[in-house]
Structure 1
Amino acid sequence: MYIIAGLGNPTLQYEGTRHNVGFDVIDTLAEKYNISVDARKSRAFIGKGMIEGQKVILVKPQTYMNLSGESIRGLVDYYKIDVEHELLVIYDDISLDVGQLRIRKKGSAGGHNGIKNIIANLGTQNFPRIKVGVGEKPKKYDLADYVLSHFSKAERELMEEGYQKAVKAVEMLLDGEMEAAMNEYNRKVKPKEA
């Protein structure tokens, strides 16, 4: 069984912000595989279903981003998940262009407070993750204000493509194709010519 956790902040005011792309990917997966993510457990909304022949639990922690690890730790313990092989975390990354993906088997938090808290709660940074690019913070912008801002119309279209790519990446990872997924999605995509 796999736990696929998308990071974000609860409540309507954060819907559609850069920091909530993890939730958006979970919603895209839930829609494609007809999984209702409305049960409550360990301070998260969860939904159980099947993706690529694997049992999955889709998770949207409701602890606010900076305490994501508390919610995920509770679920990992309850379902006795092997975090190195059965946990997948999806979240925003400001060092990637809008809609770009980067897949990692493990790694540091890279300044992301949600991931920092997950590492602190799990006691390891060895868990797979999919980072979804939300674009670099403009100069003179406060980081918190930037990640809590909404996408422009053009950016939203790129993000929709990014969510579809993230769904395909999840499917590949569940098929045991980590290397292939990294080869497919970790390269820079050239922006389309206008």
Structure 2
Amino acid sequence: MLTPYILHSAVPPSAESSDHEWAVPIYKLCATTHTAPIRADSPSMTPSEGLILQAVQETSREICRVATNMWVSGVLAGLDPQLNRKESPDFGQANDLMDGWKYEVSRLMGWLDWSVWVKCKPACGPEEMCYLPTWPVGFPRPKWDPERPRPGSHNSTPGTWSGPHVDFRTSVIESMAVLAEEGRAVKPEPDEWMRPQPKCIRRVEPYDF
């Protein structure tokens, strides 16, 4: 989960160190990567958009805090093959570590209090990870016309979408169709746009989406 945010410069100072400061850059990258571009547009957001952004930011921070702490405890225990600076823990130590992780995940799930949880069925293999397809991440943003009101702003007409604001999802679907024709993507089924379903993808070569 933290792999995209691991920095080569972030390493524990020593095998005996219990200081977690070295992992702060990883936590910050995890917590802000997906919202930083949106936050830059916050001055033009409506109050409801700002509230949604704040909720996403706080949720991302807590998820990344728990995930980073779990990863750091594993690194300091000698479980990371890339950063292993001490002997790997014995079975008892590893078991205690996993019990702590389960407790932290349970607390996080309670804090999130989400009404729906999804998982891959059947369970993914050891070389796979459970992935929930997302959009529009990775797709070009539409060219908004600054002269036109934003949907839902105090200048817009309630219930109407006009000009470049006509259903952003449609532009994403059209982009996917082009990529599918070029063989660079698999075109999702119509239902997958409205209700994405988790699926297993490989996390080791050969990669396959």
Q: TM-score, normalised by structure 2?
A: 0.25
Output the TM-score relative to the length of structure 1: 0.27
- Larger Rg over CA atoms: 2
- Per residue, is there more strand in 1 or in 2? 1
